[in-house]
Amino acid sequence: MSVSFRPEELLADVIARLIGDVRHVAVGNASPIPATAALLARAQNGNGRPYVSLLQSRKHNFFTDGARELFDCAGQGRIDVFFLSGGQIDGQGNVNLVSTGDYGHPKVRFPGSFGSAYLYYVVPKVILFRTEHSRRTLVPKVDFISAPGSNEANVYRSGGPVALVTNRCLFTFADGRFTLASVHPGHSVEEVIENTGFEFARPATVPQTPAPSPETLTLMRGTVAQELAEVYPQFAAQVFGVGQTAFAN
């Protein structure tokens, strides 16, 4: 018997599998789906790993000096996974968090880089995440490089992008380019091609992204949703029914 699930639950499941069994995952502000995934990965591992730092949380955040401690921790090699998004992402893994159009006369201003380039270089596993998969957001070349996906061979770099998760599919990233790894249920390879501005590799047969298992959904809608509600109460209520009558399987 199949179990219904929301798009947010699918994306959180995909990201949790990318996280795996690591020591420490940090999640920045305004990132409810990556936060769900990090808490889910910890609940699934059942061994207290990974330690999860949610920057907006009181319970899940040992930093007392905000982002400055986050950067120090990352520089010391004590953060294994982080998440980045951007107004634009291109096929080389470059991220734009500054503006579109001419830099001196921009068409659109984004929130700003806020240390993204630094974290991109030092966190071993950076997962890119974008819920709008369109040619406006996934472009051939970003207008401004806030955080570079690759670098010259003589530049030491311990971190970088490993994947891009969107509302349509999962890309993996290696050797300076993306590869289509799976397409989410309800979407197609043709749709991904049509809505992606950059070129990417793909196998002859692209699999469908697995749906969350009943056990995974139970964890997300129970333990994880309760923990998430502290930081993202509106998201937890809308997606998981926390504080409301939860939807039935």
CATH placement of domain 7-240? 3.40.1080.10
For residues 77-86, one letter each, b for 16 or more C-beta atoms within 10 angstroms of the residue's C-beta and e for the rest, the string is eebbbbbbbb
Q: What is the mean pLDDT of the chain?
A: 92
Extract the residue ranges of the chain whose pLDDT is less than 70. 1-2, 64-66, 243-249
Does residue 189 contact residue 5 with C-beta atoms inside 8 Å?
no
Does residue 131 contact residue 167 with C-beta atoms inside 8 Å?
yes
Alpha carbon distances (Å) from 103 to 84, 95, 96, 138: 22, 15, 12, 19
State if pTM tops 0.85: yes
Task: Give the pair of three-digit tokens for residue 184.
Answer: 């989410």
Reported as a single tens digit per residue, the pLDDT across 58-99 is 777 777 666 788 889 999 999 999 999 999 999 999 999 999
- pLDDT score of 77: 94
